[in-house]
Protein backbone atom coordinates (compact mmCIF):
# COMPACT_ATOMS: atom_id res chain seq x y z
CA UNK A 1 0.00 0.00 0.00
CA UNK A 2 1.32 3.40 -1.00
CA UNK A 3 1.65 6.35 1.36
CA UNK A 4 -0.16 9.59 0.62
CA UNK A 5 2.32 12.15 -0.64
CA UNK A 6 2.43 15.88 -1.04
CA UNK A 7 0.61 15.99 -4.41
CA UNK A 8 -2.37 14.08 -3.05
CA UNK A 9 -2.60 16.22 0.10
CA UNK A 10 -2.29 19.40 -1.97
CA UNK A 11 -5.03 18.19 -4.28
CA UNK A 12 -7.33 17.47 -1.33
CA UNK A 13 -6.57 20.86 0.22
CA UNK A 14 -7.58 22.41 -3.09
CA UNK A 15 -10.72 20.33 -3.74
CA UNK A 16 -12.27 20.27 -0.26
CA UNK A 17 -12.71 24.09 0.08
CA UNK A 18 -14.19 24.25 -3.42
CA UNK A 19 -16.65 21.49 -2.52
CA UNK A 20 -17.60 23.30 0.70
CA UNK A 21 -18.22 26.57 -1.15
CA UNK A 22 -20.29 24.79 -3.79
CA UNK A 23 -22.40 23.27 -1.00
CA UNK A 24 -22.77 26.29 1.28
CA UNK A 25 -23.52 29.15 -1.14
CA UNK A 26 -26.72 27.72 -2.71
CA UNK A 27 -28.08 26.60 0.65
CA UNK A 28 -27.29 30.04 2.12
CA UNK A 29 -29.46 31.65 -0.58
CA UNK A 30 -32.26 29.11 -0.09
CA UNK A 31 -32.31 29.49 3.69
CA UNK A 32 -32.23 33.28 3.41
CA UNK A 33 -35.10 33.41 0.90
CA UNK A 34 -37.16 31.16 3.16
CA UNK A 35 -36.64 33.57 6.07
CA UNK A 36 -34.16 31.45 8.01
CA UNK A 37 -30.62 32.40 8.95
CA UNK A 38 -28.24 31.76 6.08
CA UNK A 39 -25.68 30.50 8.60
CA UNK A 40 -27.67 27.26 8.83
CA UNK A 41 -26.15 26.39 5.47
CA UNK A 42 -22.83 25.78 7.23
CA UNK A 43 -24.42 22.72 8.81
CA UNK A 44 -24.94 21.22 5.36
CA UNK A 45 -21.28 20.15 5.28
CA UNK A 46 -21.55 18.32 8.63
CA UNK A 47 -22.55 14.67 8.26
CA UNK A 48 -25.90 13.77 9.88
CA UNK A 49 -26.46 17.40 10.88
CA UNK A 50 -27.24 18.12 7.23
CA UNK A 51 -30.01 15.53 7.25
CA UNK A 52 -31.53 16.90 10.45
CA UNK A 53 -31.43 20.51 9.18
CA UNK A 54 -32.91 19.50 5.84
CA UNK A 55 -35.82 17.63 7.49
CA UNK A 56 -36.51 20.45 9.94
CA UNK A 57 -36.34 22.96 7.10
CA UNK A 58 -38.65 20.94 4.88
CA UNK A 59 -41.40 20.26 7.42
CA UNK A 60 -41.48 23.44 9.51
CA UNK A 61 -43.28 26.71 8.82
CA UNK A 62 -41.08 29.10 6.90
CA UNK A 63 -40.84 32.58 8.41
CA UNK A 64 -41.04 34.16 4.93
CA UNK A 65 -44.44 32.52 4.32
CA UNK A 66 -46.03 33.16 7.74
CA UNK A 67 -47.54 36.53 6.80
CA UNK A 68 -48.92 35.17 3.49
CA UNK A 69 -51.30 32.73 5.15
CA UNK A 70 -54.92 33.83 5.43
Q: Each residue's pLDDT tens digit in the chain (70 positions)?
A: 677 777 888 888 888 899 889 989 999 999 999 889 999 999 999 999 999 999 999 999 888 777 766 6
The answer to whether residues 41 and 28 touch, using CB atoms and an 8 Å cutoff, is yes
pLDDT, position 1? 65
Query: How many structural domains compose the chain?
Result: 1
Whether residue 14 lies inside any domain: the answer is yes
pLDDT of 66: 77
Residue 1 lies in a domain: no
Whole-angstrom distance, CA of residue 34 vs CA of residue 64? 5
pTM reported for the whole predicted model: 0.74
For residue 35, what are the domain limits?
Answer: 6-66
The total of other beta-carbon atoms located within 10 Å of residue 41's CB is 21
What pLDDT does residue 51 have? Answer: 95
Note whether residue 50 is domain-resident: yes
Instruction: Compute how many other C-beta atoms are within 10 angstroms of the C-beta atom of residue 67.
Output: 7
Amino acid sequence: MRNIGVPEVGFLLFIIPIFIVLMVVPYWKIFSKAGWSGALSLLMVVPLANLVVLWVFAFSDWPALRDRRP
